[in-house]
Structure formats: C-alpha cells, structure tokens
Amino acid sequence: MHRLLALHQRRWEAWLDFSRARRYASPHSAHRGALREPMDIEQLQAFLAIVDHGSVLGAADALKLPRSTVRAKLDALEQEFGVALLTRTRDGAEATAAGVALAERARSLVNQLRSLPSAVRDEMNVPTGELHLRVPVGPPPELLGLLISAFRERHPQVPLHLSFAEDPLAQLPADVDLVLHFGPNLPRGPFRTQGLITLDEQLLASPEYLAAHGTPRTLAELQDHPLLIWRPPGEDGRALPMRAGGLVPVKPAIVAADVHLLRMLVAAGAGIGLLPNPPVPVSLESDGLVPVLKELVGQPCVVRLAIPEARAATPRTRAAVALIREMAEGTLGFLPPEDDAGELDESAA
C-alpha cells in the first residue's frame, strides 16, 4: 500500500516539477520567474475532454461545466506550457502535436490519480463503490437479467450502473469499470482485454417462414427474400461475410445494431436475418430459428471484455469479471476463444 501511494505521489510531483520549470522559462509569463498557481488535475481533465469530444461545447456537456469554465482551464493550461495545445476548427478543435503528446501522458496520470481514493479502500479487498458496466445494445434480456441478479445477490453493497451503446468502445466515460464489446477492436489507451465467448454470425430464419416462402439454396435465391442484417461496430450492414473470405454486397430490408430486436423480427417471420448465434440457447425459451446457407455465409464473432488498466485491480471489477466468466463457462457452457483462454492480458491500442 505504501508503495502504491508513493508511486502516485512521485508521478504527481514530477508533473509539478515539469510545470514549474516551464513557468520559469515561458515567454508568456508576465514576469519571468514569477510563480503562478500550479497546474491542477481539473485543467488536464478539461483538456482531455475537449480532445475526446472534439469541442469545448462537447467537453462542457460531458463535464457538466459552463463552457467559459472549460475554456478558462484550457487557456490556463496553454499558458502553463507556453504552447498551443489545440487548433480551433470550424467543427470544433483538434490537438496540435504538443497537444497529442500531452494527452498521451496526461490520460494515464489522470486515470491513476482519479482511482487513488478507491485504491486505498481496495486494500481491504472487499468490493465497494459503484460498478459501471457498458454493454452493446440488444443483449438477450434473460441473460442480462441473470447476470444482474447474480451480481446483486453476491454483492448487494455495490450499486450497478449499466449503459448501452451501439459501439461500447466509442467515447468511453471516465467512470467505466468494464466493457463488453464485439470483435477485435480495442479502446484507446491502456486496457486489459480478453475474448469471452465466440459466436457464429450466420443466416437464420424461422421454420414457418421457410415453409411459406421456400429455403434459398444459392446467393441468387437469397436476394429474393427480405434480409435483416445485424450491423456490428465499424460496419454498415450492407454486405454478407462469406465463409471462404470476402464480402458480398446486398440490399437489406432492415439494418440494426440491436441483435435482440432483429432476432425477434426473424422469429416472427419478417425475413432471413444475419445474426450472431450462440452455440447454445441463451433465452429461457428457444425461438426455434434454423440456419440458412450455413456452409456458405457466416463468420466467427468474438465477444470480449475490456477493462481500464486503472480499474483492473479493484475488487468490484475483479468480482464482476469472475462472475461473467463463471456464467459464460459454467452456467451457459461457453468456452473462451482458443487464443484468449488465459488471464486477462495487458494491451494498449
């Protein structure tokens, strides 16, 4: 514990020493060598928020501060370093080369300083504080309900905050403890990531629909059916992945990021859907969907965990990860991807 506190103290003191050195040398100082108020963490937070949201207005909304306050903090920080950190554009603001360098170093420092109070409590190794979980839109409600109920039963002292996003990795809030996301994309910054389960993205239809409209045997026949396409992050939902590689353009009837909604529509007979399909049912009642062109169309789709490095060691995060793994591998019988079967690995995007 003493080593942890000493490490944070040394890093903060290094920033302050650097700040003082720049003040003495800065040509922007009213009196060279005059001592002003030292740079503080709120100035860095305001700067990082502008970089992340692309404008002072976006940063002010995210920080719940007046725009004038955010702008003042940015001005103070630029005066502190004696260089322009942002370039104003018609659409907002972009980081200069100096701003990029500052953001890279400041982000890790701010995250570590923000987590310092909880680090002291975490020495007791008891989950405390609020757990913030970010998930994709459209998980099966029954599965999500099981997870929430199990976590609340084990850790009733930890409030659980859930947020949903089409791309859970985009513009991550600073207070997120754990992110569930599809695919190989990693969020920016120091994170620990691991594959959780592998789903098979494939064409599915209800037996009733196929009995009424026929089962397509070729891609040409498939074009005669209404297609409901799942749109994962980074894709536009207008192409089918082929087992042999490559994509085939299509004109879907419906494109959506909500897997559960699309699955309900397919089960209701709205058409043939391209969806991530688990190897075992995840709903309390099976919807009876059957594969279509299974050997021709489809690809594996990995569900991953991403944990901010600054929060990876907290008891509440470790407790949540342990429960999710337990449910995936035990309750549901999923096996982790072969290349991600070990402990969470450290990685930086």
| Phi/psi at 237 (5° precision) | 75, 20
What pLDDT is recorded for position 332? Answer: 54
Residues spanned by the domain of 230 = 129-349
What pLDDT is recorded for position 230? Answer: 94
Could you give the CA distance from residue 175 to residue 48 in angstroms, rounded to a whole number?
Answer: 14
Q: Is the pLDDT of residue 26 over 50?
A: no
Same domain as 212, residue 337: yes
Total domains in the fold of the chain? 2
Same domain as 172, residue 112: no
Same domain as 155, residue 110: no
Convert 39-71 to b/e letters by CB count within 10 Å (16 or more is b): beebbbbbbbbbbbbbbbebbbebbebeeeebb
Tokens of residue 197, six digits: 């389960």
Same domain as 82, residue 204: no
Q: For 221-233, how does the pLDDT look when each residue is reduced to its tens digit (9 = 90+)?
A: 999 999 999 998 8
Q: For 319-335, how does the pLDDT look when each residue is reduced to its tens digit (9 = 90+)?
A: 998 888 888 776 555 55
Q: Is the pLDDT of residue 20 over 80?
A: no
What pLDDT is recorded for position 284? Answer: 43
Same domain as 346, residue 236: yes
Same domain as 154, residue 70: no
- pLDDT bucket at 287, cuts 50 / 70 / 90: confident
Same domain as 145, residue 117: no
Q: For 62-85, how does the pLDDT look when each residue is reduced to its tens digit (9 = 90+)?
A: 999 999 999 999 999 888 888 999
